[in-house]
Chains A and B, each alone.
Chain A
Amino acid sequence: MSIVAEKLTYVYLENSSNSNVAIEDISIEIKQGEFWGIIGHTGSGKSTLVQHMNALMQPTSGKITVDGLDPAEKKNRAAVRRKVGLVFQYPEYQLFEETVLKDIAYGPLNMGYDTQTAYDMAREAMTLVGLNAARFENKSPFELSGGEKRRVAIAGTVAMRPAYLILDEPMAGLDPRGRKSVIDMLEKLRRETGCAIIMVSHSMDDIAACADKVAVLNKGRLVLCSSVDKVFSDTLKLRSMGLDVPQVSLLAEKLNESGIEMHNAIYDIEQMKAFVLERIGSRR
């Protein structure tokens, strides 16, 4: 059970003078329960790639399947969209209902659940994204704060209980505390629902904090694709594409240069903390 892309290519405005190859020759497999980070510069094709996983776009060439279903066939698309939930960038702009509860229940209702079940699913999703159901359910989504709106929008997709949850830059425009709480929320979501999470982000640090696997896109091509520790220890390659390296990896690199040997790459702040404390302790 996985999302499999094989040699996926998409060209915008094909057959026109300003056609634009957005992604090219991308092969990737995303298994159930994994936490992926997708990173790359602006315009590197991240959003284009994830829209293929949700059957919103059909590849120019190549193939993508979700649990064996091919969205190239129209009849599979609804099923694919049930399995794969996609939260767009700035999802708060898609809210439209009178109350938060009704808005979140829109997805489940479209899936054919009756109103009562849909509302229950919506309440459950609110709890999962950290919104107090009793307090928020009857509010209008338009009177919430930006961060709360974002949670409502994410809950709208979570309520559909996808097996794969894709978030396109869920942290865009949030302050550091907001970013941290989104990361915590995603980790909690994965623990409690067991769904795979695919997070598109610009920030290496955010991805280092929560993902197990990373895909790096550069100019529409998949340049790195493996576990976090492998990707983040390849600082040379990341730099050569002009991408940031997580702050913690930078520190590890500096420590290495100054003669403090580190046996394996450390990219996570907690691990680094433990390592530094241990070193200080052993020296005393």
Chain B
Amino acid sequence: MMRDITLGQYYNTDSVIHSLDPRTKLTLTFGYLILIFLISKMWLFAFAAAFIAVVTILSKVPFSMVLRSLKPMRWLLLFMFVLNLFMSRSGEVLFKWWIFELTTGGIRQALFMTFRLLLLVMGTSLMTFTTTPIALTDGLEKLLAPLKKIGFPAHELAMMMTIALRFIPILLEESDKITKAQLSRGADLESGNIIKKAKSMVPILVPLFISAFRRADELAMAMESRCYHGDEGRTRMRVLTLKKCDFTAFLVFALVFVSVLLLQNLMAF
């Protein structure tokens, strides 16, 4: 059913990584992305992989889940691999057919890009595994708060994201229900050509939109009747505070970051 689509892939347990402040995780993930892009030697990826492995163990998220997060990317990964395989032409030519030319440089480049992408996806997945979507938007709002001075609507943006996240499961459930109701009235959603299929979606989409508008209306009313008036003077129920473990995390990551870059520049190979 539709319900299998999970947008937030939060994995609920109790771990050091889970208890880190969302701001810390957002910043460090960003730092990690930069590090991955700065790495220019294949063997240094081993460090990044080891780093990910340690974080995974600390977070108590099963390895299989982290690997599964790569599954939706498999076609992109394959495409990137093949593209890079034939795009860069350097080193020895191993194989030649028509306009395709397989070179050692190509293989190197393809492996390099694939590793980079794999590590990127795994790192960001770890963040979403260990942080609830709501905490993420909270953290994002805080991080973007300085930009409010130049008129950037950080609070509004975060509120919109929070509401959207809250409503995704509700709308999925609702579309499931409406689909069933129309199926039991004999709706045929499967057969026919594309135009007929699109037409047969109307009895599902119209009620879904109406209900989304109704819910939006009700929510706006409920927020207003509880005196919501935007960002100004609003206090929080859960105030984000940086704890000792957050500083430790920053320190550890800084060490990894610097040592990888040092290794890259000092080692000749």
List the interface of chain A (C-beta within 8 A of B): 51, 54, 56, 78, 81-82, 85-86, 88, 91, 93-96, 106-107, 110-111, 142, 156-157, 160
Contacts and interface: CB of A to CB of B under 8 A. Distances in A.
B210 interface: yes
Interface string B79-94: 0000000000000000
Nearest to B204: A96
Contact of A88 (B181, B202, B206): B181
Nearest to A110: B186
Given A93-B174, A110-B186, 20 more contacts: A56-B184, A81-B184, A88-B177, A88-B180, A94-B178, A94-B182, A94-B185, A94-B203, A106-B182, A106-B185, A106-B187, A106-B203, A107-B185, A107-B186, A110-B185, A110-B187, A110-B188, A142-B210, A157-B184, A157-B185
Categorize the interface residue count of chain B. 10 to 19
B184 A91 contact: no
A86 B186 CA distance: 11
Contacts of A91: 181
A56 B183 contact: yes
Contacts of A85: 184
Interface in B173-219: 174, 177-178, 180-188, 202-203, 206-207, 210-211
Contacts of A88: 177, 180-181, 184
Leading 7 A-B pairs by shortest Cβ distance? A110-B186, A96-B206, A94-B181, A107-B185, A86-B184, A96-B203, A88-B181
Contact of A93 (B183, B185, B211): B211
A81 B202 CA distance: 20
A71 to B, nearest CB: 12
Interface string B153-189: 0000000000000000000001001101111111110
30 contacts: A51-B180, A56-B183, A81-B184, A85-B184, A88-B177, A88-B181, A88-B184, A93-B174, A93-B177, A93-B207, A93-B210, A94-B178, A94-B182, A94-B185, A94-B207, A95-B207, A96-B206, A96-B207, A96-B210, A106-B182, A106-B187, A107-B185, A107-B186, A110-B185, A110-B187, A111-B186, A156-B185, A157-B185, A160-B185, A160-B186
Nearest to B214: A93
Nearest to B211: A93
Nearest to A109: B186
A121 B211 CA distance: 28
Main secondary structure of the interface of A (DSSP, over half): helix
A81 B186 contact: yes
A16 to B, nearest CB: 10
Contacts of A56: 180, 183-184
B236 to A, nearest CB: 31
A93 B178 contact: yes
B185 A82 contact: no
Contacts of A157: 184-185
Among B177, B182, B184, max chain A CB count under 10 A is at B184
Contacts of B184: 54, 56, 81, 85-86, 88, 157
A82 B185 CA distance: 8
Nearest to B178: A94
Contact of B186 (A51, A78, A95): A78
B44 to A, nearest CB: 37
B83 to A, nearest CB: 37
A68 B202 CA distance: 33
Nearest to A106: B185
